Amino acid sequence: MAYLLQQLANAVPVAALYAALAFGYAIAFGVTKRADITYGAIFAFSGQILLLFTDLGYNRLWLILPAALALGALFSVIYSMLAAIWIGRSIMLPLVRQSSNTVIVAALGITIVLMETARLASDTKSLWLSPFLNSAVVFWSDGAFKVTLTEIQLINTGLMCAMMALGVVIMRGTSWGRLWRAVTDDPLAAELCGTSADRVFLIAYASAGLIATACGILATFYYGTMDFGAGLMFGLKVLMVAAVGGYSDPLKSAAGAAGLGVAETMWSAYGPYLWRDLVVFSLLVLLLVLSRRERAIP
């Protein structure tokens, strides 16, 4: 019983990360209407920029660890958001206007550029953060066995849930949320009603980039490192599970992603770990087939 409770506790931070990523991805997909692996690349890019500038602050500027982490987070947000805004304005928006099918190809090229930029900047070295906030918080005890999570896991989970809660408030309770829904339903009709579809597109893409950046920073704080293999894996999982949850409502996409996080954690606890990704992706493909809707994509 205690072991099961511990695994359920372990699933909470993973589910929160997947849910937050899926929430942001659904916002971007609403305006692009195409699969975009750039989202996972921005997630990984933000983590790698965090590592680069934290290393600079700690080992070269002789800052204490909190100050070095703050420096890394600041430059991670700056670089990642500049990249997201540039990608949305200069690449994705023109492509969606002309031939939206090329978005998928362009996303692959952008991913390679971001990956190689971060790799060259780090001189192809893996950087690691010093562990912090690793004290265990006990939720339940059964003799010698304790159900725990670390402080960083709880903080990350709380911040990601807060991001999604703020996103729900904005999407459902503000005029921008209504404009986003109008543009996702029919950009031309929204333009005829006086809405700038291009501006909504750019704000939506930048908002998704901000969520990916925040998740990349928080994930790197917890795991201690970040590489593009992990970023692309997260991005691909989120892309598929968000499709199952439905792109029309970011909250439903988040709920589907959270379910994936719980299922993945439970498989890691009770099933062969080497088969985890195969089983997860097979389950996602099955769910996509079962939930497929006959709908023409323009």
Measured between alpha carbons, how far is 41 from 71 in angstroms, rounded to an integer? Answer: 21
Query: Cβ distance 79 to 9 under 8 Å?
Result: no
Is the pLDDT at 47 greater than 60, yes or no? Answer: yes
User: Model pTM?
Assistant: 0.91
State the Cα–Cα distance between residues 255 and 293, nearest whole angstrom.
19
pLDDT score for 242: 65
- 205 falls in which pLDDT band (50, 70, 90)? very high
Distance CA 48, CA 255 (A): 28
Q: Which residue has the higher pLDDT, 67 or 292?
A: 67
* Residue bearing the bigger pLDDT, 280 or 222: 222
Amino acid present at 177: G
Using CA atoms, how far residue 275 sits from 128, 268, 270, 294, in Å, is 27, 9, 11, 32
**Do 208 and 27 contact (CB within 8 A), yes or no?**
yes
- Domain parsing of the chain, residue ranges: 2-290
CATH architecture of the domain covering 2-290 = Orthogonal Bundle (1.10)
Whether the pLDDT of residue 294 is over 60: the answer is no
How do residues 84-123 score in pLDDT, each as one tens digit? 999 999 999 998 888 767 888 888 889 888 888 888 888 8
- SS percent in the chain: helix, strand, coil, step 5: 80, 5, 20
Cβ(167)–Cβ(211) below 8 Å: yes
Query: pLDDT digit string (tens) for 53-74?
Result: 999 999 999 999 999 999 999 9
pLDDT score at 24: 92
